[in-house]
Amino acid sequence: MRREAQNLLLILVGATIVKIALDGSYLRYVKASLQPYLLLSGGVIVLLGLIAIARDVRAGRAMADSHNESSRPYWMLLVPAAVILFLAPPALGTGAIPSAGPELVSATSPRRPLPPLAEGTPTMPLRELVHRVHAAPDTLHGRTIGTAGFVLPNEAGNGFDLGQLAIACCAADAQLLILHLDGPLPAGLTEGDWISVTGHITAGRAELATPSWPTMVVDEARRIDPPKITYGY
């Protein structure tokens, strides 16, 4: 591959990283806190490409690679850039990841102290709720809690559970969180629809040794639009 093509390809890859970091589509693949690093790395790659072009122009020559060197590795960089630019793969969906098990999710949850619950009916991400069930069950006793997620068929096939994909860094380490639902749900739900629910965790489920997903007795449930960030952190 000629030097000019190599430099342009380098700029394209860097510009693609900057583009997805600015338009928000990066949230389909990595957590929000990584945006500054994407912008920095993409900018550095673009800058390297521009410096290489300027150096070649100043040298007054267009250098070519040896004919014995394969250009395939360089062109392979174009594939992910083209996919993200023109196809924009969506975020992972309901059937993309098998359930990891509540004990694994609890073990991999952040070790920071859990904040006290607000008065009234506090709303929390599904990951925090599952983590509280195992790490701090006393904080949930007698409390009505709100959370949200997508619906997926339960194991019995006669209703729906609530689910959400949680990531620690990126979509590659996603884990499926599950909250069993016991109570009325909106009519006409299909797999993948997003709902918000309020209710309380059933007695006997909020124990660290319980090797099962928690169950919520639902007081109220309603449809909602999918959030911009569908993953839990």
The 3-state secondary structure of 28-82, one letter per residue: HCECHHHHHHHHHHHHHHHHHHHHHHHHHHHHCCCCECCCCCCCHHHHHCHHHHH
Q: In this predicted structure, what is the pLDDT of residue 98?
A: 57
3-state secondary structure of 146: strand
| The two structure tokens encoding residue 206 | 């909020």
Instruction: Identify the band that residue 72 occupies on the pLDDT scale cut at 50, 70 and 90.
Output: low
Cα separation, 29 vs 96, whole angstroms: 13
Tell me if the pTM is above 0.95. no
- Percent of the chain's residues with pLDDT above 90: 29
3-state secondary structure of 204: coil
Orientation angle between helical segments 3-23 and 35-59, nearest 10 degrees = 160
Per the CB < 8 A criterion, the answer to whether 198 and 145 are in contact is yes
Cα separation, 3 vs 61, whole angstroms: 10
Q: In this predicted structure, what is the pLDDT of residue 219?
A: 94
Q: In this model, does residue 224 exceed pLDDT 90? A: yes
pLDDT in tens, 5-22: 778 888 888 888 898 899
pLDDT in tens, 139-189: 888 899 999 999 999 888 788 999 998 888 887 778 888 899 999 999 999
Q: Please report where in the chains the tokens 């701090």 appear, as a residue.
A: 136
Per the CB < 8 A criterion, the answer to whether 223 and 195 are in contact is yes
Q: In this predicted structure, what is the pLDDT of residue 107?
A: 46
Cα dist. 155→79, 110, 161, 185, 213 in Å? 39, 28, 9, 17, 12
Per the CB < 8 A criterion, the answer to whether 163 and 191 are in contact is no
Q: In this predicted structure, what is the pLDDT of residue 216?
A: 93
pLDDT in tens, 108-150: 455 566 778 888 899 999 988 888 888 788 888 889 999 999 9
Q: In this model, does residue 29 exceed pLDDT 90? A: no
Using only the alpha carbons of the chain, give its radius of gyration: 24
| The two structure tokens encoding residue 36 | 């500054």
Q: In this predicted structure, what is the pLDDT of residue 172?
A: 78
Instruction: Identify the band that residue 65 occupies on the pLDDT scale cut at 50, 70 and 90.
Output: very low
